[in-house]
């Protein structure tokens, strides 16, 4: 008897299970009458599936949850299927991409979505944190797909199924047309998956409806003002607690995020007020020619008592391979410095070529010590920091090269870089 899969229509996690089955040629029993609002968390259901979410698979006395695991299991039921590679290294790569799809795309999108749709109280900083993380991961994927048709090998595997279904979810959710325009390799890749003859029917015949405009947060309703009374008002009954909002149709029963703890005051805020406006410098740098206009402005306005400048060098350059991956590493380091954004400006880059490159650059930080600014990043100790003196010609030359992205070191030229603004 064929395995039974249970979930609701519209769930992209169910779609990955059905896609794996379709590619492998495995028959599934699927009840299309099931809906998310069905009363399905019965004691009998939880006895079989204690994690308590959809989709589920039942194959005789074998019960399985987690859509990625279900999709892989289903694909292995077909003899000689290439959806799940037999080669151990390729299988490990598939597992890498399955984790990427869930942890780096689905979860970050879900975290941002719960804030946008009002399930979690709206907080701009928190929302932007998760949304930027999501976009950063999509940008990484975009570079990886520059010279790949599929993620593992030369045929569609479980890795492609998991990543493609995650992409259809976020492109139909928060990732609008303006962002997708910067992801041509990813869109080309996705198109090749959803229009595969065995999959096109599962993906709305390849005619998926994606989000065009940026999504705006749900606004809390304004409370009506009480009418004026000529006599003392009666005591009001306690306001009823609002029922939790239902989950979106594509969530796999993930727990909502716990609101962030109140921020502890940063000691850097107690430093004497500085005449140097870091935010204004960021605007000058972004809008003006670096050497001709922005740097002269910087030298005229910099406060060396309230700020300091630091050279940053990666300690383990021998481990670097592809230059674009090294640049992604800089992006990851900068992402982890998010909590210090108001105290920091950075310009770092990759110099050299594939398998012979280095990471270096400069940071402008609040105060005279770099550690309180950078130790918010768990990997801050992977870099060496040396204070730059603008009175030293070599230091000044290095600083200007890092800012202008034309730095050269030991015969290695600047290839690519990122700014922290």
For residue 323, being part of any structural domain is answered with yes
Q: Which domain-ending residue is among 55, 76, 97? A: 76
Q: What is the pLDDT of residue 290?
A: 92
Give the number of domains in the chain: 3
CATH of the domain at 350: 3.30.70.1010
Contacts of 373 (CB under 8 A, 6+ apart): 268, 337, 340, 343, 344, 363, 365, 366, 367
CATH of the domain at 202: 1.20.1050.10
For residue 247, being part of any structural domain is answered with no
Structural domain boundaries, residue 333: 272-420
For residue 232, being part of any structural domain is answered with no
Question: Average pLDDT by consecutive 10-residue portion of the chain (421 residues)?
Answer: 82 88 90 68 86 87 92 88 90 94 92 81 84 94 92 92 93 91 94 90 80 73 49 49 41 43 68 93 90 94 95 91 86 88 94 93 95 89 94 95 94 93 89
Radius of gyration over alpha carbons of the chain, in Å?
26
Q: What is the pLDDT of residue 250?
A: 44
CATH of the domain at 21: 3.40.30.10
For residue 240, being part of any structural domain is answered with no
Q: Are residues 396 and 296 in the same domain?
A: yes
For residue 176, being part of any structural domain is answered with yes
b/e 54-65 (16+ beta carbons within 10 angstroms → b): bbbbebeeeebb
Q: What angle do CA 133, 136, 142 make, to 5 degrees?
A: 145
For residue 258, being part of any structural domain is answered with no
Q: Are residues 347 and 304 in the same domain?
A: yes
Q: What is the DSSP string of 318-355?
A: GG--SHHHHHHHHHHHHHTTGGGGGGEEEEEEEEEETT
Contacts of 134 (CB under 8 A, 6+ apart): 104, 105, 108, 109, 112, 170, 174, 175
Q: Are residues 119 and 25 in the same domain?
A: no
């Amino acid at each position: 008897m064929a395995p039974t899969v249970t979930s609701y229509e519209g769930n992209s996690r169910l779609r990955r299970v059905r896609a794996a089955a379709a590619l492998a040629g495995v028959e599934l029993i699927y009840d299309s009458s099931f809906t998310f609002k069905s009363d399905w968390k019965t004691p009998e259901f939880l006895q079989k599936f204690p994690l308590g979410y959809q989709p589920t698979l039942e194959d005789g006395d074998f019960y399985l949850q987690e859509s990625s695991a279900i999709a892989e299991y289903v694909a292995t039921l077909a003899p000689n299927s290439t959806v799940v590679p037999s080669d151990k290294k390729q299988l490990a790569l598939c597992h890498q991409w399955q984790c990427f799809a869930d942890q780096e795309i689905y979860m970050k999108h879900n975290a941002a979505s719960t804030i946008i749709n009002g399930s979690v109280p709206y907080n701009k900083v928190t929302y932007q944190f998760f949304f930027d993380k999501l976009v950063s991961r999509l940008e990484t994927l975009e570079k990886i797909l520059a010279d790949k048709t599929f993620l593992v090998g030369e045929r569609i595997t479980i890795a492609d199924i998991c990543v493609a279904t995650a992409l259809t979810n976020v492109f139909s959710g928060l990732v609008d047309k303006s962002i997708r325009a910067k992801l041509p390799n990813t869109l080309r890749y996705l198109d090749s998956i959803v229009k595969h003859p065995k999959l096109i029917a599962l993906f709305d015949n390849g005619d998926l409806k994606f989000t065009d405009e940026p999504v705006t947060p749900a606004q809390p309703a304004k409370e009506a003002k009480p009418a004026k009374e000529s006599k003392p008002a009666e005591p009001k009954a306690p306001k009823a607690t609002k029922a939790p909002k239902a989950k979106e149709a594509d969530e796999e029963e993930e727990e909502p995020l716990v609101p962030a703890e109140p921020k502890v005051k940063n000691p850097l805020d107690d430093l004497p007020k500085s005449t140097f406006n870091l935010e204004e410098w960021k605007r000058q740098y972004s809008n003006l020619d670096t050497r001709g206009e922005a740097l002269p402005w910087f030298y005229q306005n910099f406060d060396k008592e309230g700020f300091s400048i630091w050279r940053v060098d990666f300690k383990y350059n021998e481990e670097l391979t592809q230059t674009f991956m090294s640049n992604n590493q800089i992006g990851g380091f900068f992402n982890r410095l998010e909590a210090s954004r108001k105290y920091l400006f950075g310009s770092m880059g990759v110099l050299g070529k594939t398998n012979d490159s280095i990471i270096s650059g400069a940071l402008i930080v609040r105060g005279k010590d770099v550690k309180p600014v950078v130790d918010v990043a768990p990997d801050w100790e992977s870099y060496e920091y040396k204070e730059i003196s603008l009175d030293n010609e070599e230091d000044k030359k290095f600083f200007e090269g890092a800012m202008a992205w034309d730095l050269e070191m030991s015969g290695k030229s600047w290839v690519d870089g990122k700014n922290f603004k």
